[in-house]
Structure 1
């Protein structure tokens, strides 16, 4: 079963990471560690945090390296002395529960021109991103870090993008993921079928339920569902249905790879 995430309190805003529209920041918590904080008050709201949580914990379950995720609480008084009005507004709208990723100090961005990834690992990451419909692992923005000579995955906030509207979400679960053609690791992903056979049994219904159960109630504020439990069940059902039809996204990725090479 999935362990509960640790909870920390944010004590010091260190520096913004002005990448994309989510405005994450490096911050210190009351456990003495630094975290990259993803704020619920940013443009995509709690949905980006839910995608980060589900994507990161599924990756971890599959044996891929992901920084520790923690629930990061922001006090109402926090940030009042922040001079930047944009950051002050972000902090004001993010009071309560946010998500933090352990800061990998000294890590460098993965560069496909410099770093070599073996075909098995590349296939595992491509499979994961096809499952999650993660559009954000491209040459322009790899969202991977090299830390202590090992590859770490970060930033799954753009995954599960169907949940920004929830329209036809059952149909979305059965769709190929055409954006996989832009994946930075696709040329090396020659073992997708082997990885599919390895990963599908690991993602049992019980394990999916355990990961989705981690989503805090206060992040489930979408009016599309009658109850928060119904909302959680939709995530579970989406992942369950997508796994059962994994050949759809596997075939899409294989065809896209053949077109590249």
Structure 2
């Protein structure tokens, strides 16, 4: 979409559903690396949601469900986790992974984060790991979560911090845009990687959705891999927004863009491997 086109949230969601369906296999394949990358942030997110044994938890935009299984471990056999996502393809992996790890306290449901259609006051906690920023109307999503939570229960959400705090993502996005002949868009445009990264924005959204006791903290989340090439392979197969841009290119231009990304990312190579800096924002609030 260029800046002269009116934003169509339904078209955006349809494209997002298709993009994440194409990225599903790659995201699932890279789960071990993603798990290491987000381990500390995920643990902090679960703590902030006050997930306890016996809790009923909804995981919004759950993806392949790595953090869903962490929540399932915490709630134990007397608890329950519902994983939702707009993409049935990626949610299939969440269900398969839950069964494969022996979790019978996990269920999945295909659902738009802005239209969860869950019973009122039916959950003890809600989590959303790197999903809320992709919602065209994140306030609506938070209102849906608020509706589903019991009074006094908590929600916690992880999103990307500002562009300059996530230079690796900025590099791959900038390179893909350059090769596609597109300008760098407004980073706070709804539904994009950094849409909720502006200081104070996500806290204001929580407040507007009637949450209280709201806190936001920054969490460093370096991505450690053997090489810049390994990171580019992860991005190429798993990151829907970059995959969408690369899909606009001819095969030769796409290969050139990937090589350029790798070259620019080598600045983060260390003697012990590649370590790409990232920063996330953890925001939590009470119903």
Structure 2 length as normaliser, TM-score? Answer: 0.32
Question: Which has a greater percent of strand?
Answer: 2
TM-score normalised by length of structure 1? 0.34
Q: Which has the higher helix share?
A: 2
